[in-house]
Structure formats: C-alpha cells, structure tokens
Structure 1
C-alpha cells in the first residue's frame, strides 16, 4: 500500500511541474484600420504632390528643389558666401515667415506671426519649417511648399489652418546666433 501511495504522489509531482501555456486570444484583430489609413495618406500625398507639380510647372522662372525631408523649395534670395553658417542644434534663429494656401491666399501674414526667435530643435515648430530652417543662412529668403504631413497635419492649428492643408511658406532668416556664443 505504501508503494502505491508513493507511486501516486510521484506521478502527481511530475505532472504538476508542467510549464504554463500562454492563453490564446478569443478574437484576433487585423491591421485593417492601419492599412486603410496608409492607403488614405498615400492618396492624400499623391494629390498634394500633383498640386505642387502644377504650381512648379506654372512658375518655371523659379528653380525648385526637392528636399530629403519631403517638401519642395526655391530661393527668393540666396547668399553664395560659404563662410556663413547654417543653423545647428541649439543655435538661435531669428526669422520672419508667412503661411499661404496653395492658391496664394494668405492664412497668416508676417505681421500676424511677427519676428520669431527659435532655438534649433529645442522648441516646438512644425516639422517642415524646422527642417527648412536648417537649409538656410542669415539673409536668405526661401519659399517652401509643405505637404500637409510636414505642415500642421491631421489636426491643423485649431484656428485658421484646417486638417490636411498643404502650405506655401515664405521664410526670411534675419540672423543666426551660434549656441557657443550664447553660453
């Protein structure tokens, strides 16, 4: 009898040492929402790009360039002096800009926005303008064409700029103060 109890308890101990198994989900969700969102954004970008190409074709006097960051621009005033610096992380950029719709209607004028002092990559600024300032030197004026995802995106600015609005932005950099001079 003792052997049977010992055998049963040994089997019980061996069977109870099984590692736990992961529970399977009752239902699995697909990435259909994400797939639909990607498709919507691709269509939106294609429409905005076609609008930019139409503007560029209508204004051949401007030498448009495509940035690596997904927007287009041309120089109104270009400084050829190579000794002037472009802003780097922490530098203070003093600049003016305006925002227009693709048909040229002013959303915010330079007077509305006033002169800005921006510490590169340490303050909030919409991504297109932040990347555009990195391309400029003091004294230059550049006109940028930002697709909506590089401007104010899905939410707009919750004031005058609606959702998914591409923008034309004319920027003048007045001065760049090196971060080493500030400290």
Structure 2
C-alpha cells in the first residue's frame, strides 16, 4: 500500500548554469567517450558548484550538501518517517533560478504530486524529498545536472542560466 506524503511548502532553486554530464555515443555497438567533453563537463560542474556556494554565502544561508551536489535546508522539521521510493509525495512548491526569477509555482492552496523515484520529475527533487517527512518545509538548491541540464525545460527554465 502506498502512503501519501504531504510535504509543506517546498522552495526549489535551480541552478541551470552548468552542462549536463558527458553524453555517451553509441557507434557499432561500442561506447565512445570524448575525453575533452568529459573534462569540460567536469570543469562545468565544479564552476556551477562554486557558483552555488557563492550564492549561498551572499544569501547568508547554511545548507547541507549531498554527495550529488543537491543542497537542502529544512525550514520546518516535523518528526516522522521520511519519504521512501514508491510513495506518493504531495508538494506545494516554488521553482526559481538563482537570480530570483520564479519559473513555476503551485497555486495557493494546491499541491502537485509524484511517486518518489518513479515519476518523471527532476532527479534532485526525488533526492531531496527523501530527506523530508510529512509536514516538513524545506529549501532545495538543485544543480542543473540533477534538474533540467544543459537545455533547460524548453519553456520557462532557460538554457545555461543561473
């Protein structure tokens, strides 16, 4: 039985300034990797990580950093079990870029829902939601490679924006 998790207001900041991880090309059954692309993407991830750190320092915000680079800060921590894969999460949210532009937000009094680790939402959101229990409120800063990557979402989240 899937339990429904209702997560309080969730602010998600996306840093869309970095490149996605290096693409792999298939040719004749072989996987080819371009070392130059891998090196550039490694540098881009490091630059984006530094940009996020500078942003957080300017804002005076201290956040936990996961091994994948997703930052999180619980604003309201309600005791209880955290979300697990396969559970439905319901969130009130606001997505904004590091420059403050709001890209998406849930309507007042409404939520969006998704199945943890199954639905097609940002991988950084799947990661962050699993740090929260029902009723929690948090801020997540999700690097581009765990959100919309190099091209943005082709609607409101621009390509290579921060």
* TM superposition score normalised by structure 1: 0.64
Distance, in Å, in 1 between the alignment partners of 2:90 and 2:82 is: 12
1:125 and 2:124 aligned: no
The structure whose residues are more often helix, as a share, is: 1
Shift of 1:149: 0.3
Distance, in Å, in 2 between the alignment partners of 1:165 and 1:78 is: 31
Distance, in Å, in 2 between the alignment partners of 1:150 and 1:105 is: 19
Distance, in Å, in 1 between the alignment partners of 2:53 and 2:127 is: 21
Superposed CA RMSD in Å reads: 2.0
Distance, in Å, in 2 between the alignment partners of 1:155 and 1:54 is: 23
1:98 and 2:94 aligned: yes
Q: How does 1:95-174 map to 2 (within 5 A)?
A: 95-111=91-107, 115-165=111-161
Shift of 1:165: 4.1
Shift of 1:163: 2.8
Distance, in Å, in 1 between the alignment partners of 2:144 and 2:101 is: 16
Q: Which structure has more RCO (C-alpha within 8 Å, separation ≥ 6)?
A: 2
Please say which structure displays the higher CA radius of gyration: 1
* TM superposition score normalised by structure 2: 0.71
Deviations 1:54-101 (A, max 9, x none): 1221233x331111232112122222x2xx111112111111211111
Structure 2 residue aligned with 1:53: 53
Distance, in Å, in 2 between the alignment partners of 1:156 and 1:73 is: 21
Runs of 4+ displaced beyond 6 Å = none
Distance, in Å, in 1 between the alignment partners of 2:82 and 2:161 is: 28
Deviations 1:85-124 (A, max 9, x none): 1111211111121111111111112229x51121122211
CA contact (8 A) 1:69 1:131 kept: no
| Count of residues paired in the alignment | 130
The structure whose residues are more often strand, as a share, is: 2
Q: Which runs of 5+ in 2 are unaligned?
A: 1-31
Q: How does 1:27-38 map to 2 (within 5 A)?
A: 34-38=34-38
User: Which secondary structure does the structure 2 equivalent of 1:46 belong to?
Assistant: helix
Deviations 1:128-164 (A, max 9, x none): 1111111111111111111110110123211111234
